[in-house]
Chain A
């Protein structure tokens, strides 16, 4: 049984579907990468797993289970117990996700208190232990610090400490390193992967950095305008992409071009709320689009291990199948 299983999850705000019928699963001890440009629904889909979508947003799914427990059917109280302890999340901007009015120690202990018992002394000892685990030097002295006294990398370490406070079995990291410098990014990613291995957590890594996902993820999901367009093992998806969007994304990276040649830019932008096309959502930007693509929305092809949502998936040479 998978740790987390989604089937046809949709999130809509009024008439607008930010996330459109996505299905995936996360196994224990697996790193799943979700990539896509801004506005593709990566964050909204993960917020809906955490139960953090507020009115007027509406979440619907055929199946949304964590460890065989139905997240939709369970009472609100029980779900809140689960999220934060068994499912935890790290947000993009560490500087604004910590409360500036309270010390770091207070905020970590607050997370512990909500889900675990223990007296003051034990909780403090646990907080120090957590800060040590995430590699913060002199953790005792850091407990009394306010968030503004910490750098971006340090704040993100504190956020990670809070999220692993209750030994979660699934950790969702939403762009955990986007606001950080490359050398700090490398430190934070190494830390996350090390924790994931040690605790055999499932890790969902949401990012727009394809190279980062290629380095750490086992499986990868590519999202476009709220839909999953391609999924599969990371090495396969990046070496032989089957969806034109994945191919175009990879080609537009500067490292794919030799020397100072022009980059293969995908024209146009991700469609927003008011300009969603008929048929395949990529069709206005896709170099291979046919009239059929512009009228009929393609179905997902292949089994759940290697899926592609395209009428004419690309073959191993990167050409569309006839």
Chain B
């Protein structure tokens, strides 16, 4: 095992999650491809951000990584061990190492339990620590996330949104995980509290060498916290690369549109607005060919018939690992059209 392999915490290959949906008594069953063939590598201490609009499959991906749902197809390996072929007991052990933080801190904490018992529950289930050892551990983690010892006996309703999200993070840390899947951890919070929680997450990453899978729709947050970024559209990855590649040299028309739609504070940073017509198509009835073709300014007949595959950006040799799924980029149609429009 070489150096890069030992740093590899999570490896996903061609993950798929398909749901079968009944539409009615006489209508045929339809398959919804919520996640359709996603691959990535996550290294120790790094953050992978998953970006996309609602309905693009980012939360489903998070649920698969934490083994809340079993993928219909694909491979998922944690430190070289395949998570999907393990026995139930071994899976339960590995689950401890991949934890999740949910979006809504108002809904994800049991209102009838005190913070202490919320935090200790993972220990009760997974370890044989004694009561006093559990309390000691809970208090030490609470201190790490900036909660006071007197909060131990309080109920969730006594806390603000930012504090609740700290509790949720503390709960995720109780079992010393390697990976934390954060599903929109700051989107329910105000900007000043959002900054506090993002700082906390980055501090904890430094201290424990955590790897994050950071699911978000807020590109300015992603630009700040991510090492690698994956842009999803209707269950598929349309562009994948390092933060620099994606934010400084975005290629896919959807990424360009997302970036231009994000409001910018400083006038210099504002991009020319690329107007996207329409909305995300229904996953029950996705368009043929590229899923984005109905909203894309560069779509031609090939885009409407043939699904593009994720491939390396061929135009620039030095761009390592910048993957794009677009016919227009591969055929170099995009540069010319932009100039033509301007």
Contact = CB atoms under 8 A, between A and B. Distances in A.
Interface of A: 37-38, 151, 153-154, 181-187, 190, 208-212, 214-215, 235, 238, 248-250, 252-257, 260, 262-267, 269-270
A183 B257 contact: yes
Interface in B248-275: 257-258, 260-267, 269-270, 273, 275
Contacts of A238: 265
A154 B282 CA distance: 14
B190 interface: yes
24 contacts: A154-B279, A181-B54, A181-B217, A181-B280, A183-B258, A183-B261, A186-B273, A186-B275, A209-B263, A211-B263, A211-B264, A214-B264, A248-B192, A249-B191, A252-B195, A253-B191, A253-B195, A254-B195, A254-B221, A255-B266, A257-B224, A260-B202, A263-B224, A267-B196
A252 B279 contact: no
Interface in B211-261: 217, 219-221, 223-225, 257-258, 260-261
Contact of B261 (A186, A209, A263): A186
Contacts of B223: 254-255
B191 A181 contact: no
Interface of B: 53-54, 160, 162, 190-196, 198-199, 202-203, 217, 219-221, 223-225, 257-258, 260-267, 269-270, 273, 275-276, 279-280
B192 A265 contact: yes
B196 A265 contact: yes
A37 B195 CA distance: 13
A270 B193 CA distance: 10
Given A186-B275, A253-B195, A270-B190, 19 more contacts: A37-B191, A182-B219, A186-B261, A208-B190, A209-B263, A214-B263, A214-B264, A214-B265, A250-B265, A252-B192, A252-B194, A253-B191, A253-B220, A254-B220, A254-B221, A260-B225, A262-B199, A266-B195, A269-B162
B195 to A, nearest CB: 4
Contacts of B162: 269
B142 to A, nearest CB: 18
B263 A212 contact: yes
A253 B264 CA distance: 11
Nearest to A212: B263
B268 to A, nearest CB: 11
A215 B269 CA distance: 11
A265 B279 contact: no
Give the one of A182, A209, A235 with max B CB within 10 A: A182
Nearest to A259: B224
B193 A269 contact: yes
A38 B191 CA distance: 10
A254 B198 contact: yes
B160 A269 contact: yes
Contacts of A256: 265
Give the one of B193, B221, B257 with max A CB within 10 A: B193
Contacts of B217: 181-182
Contacts of B198: 254, 263
Nearest to A215: B263
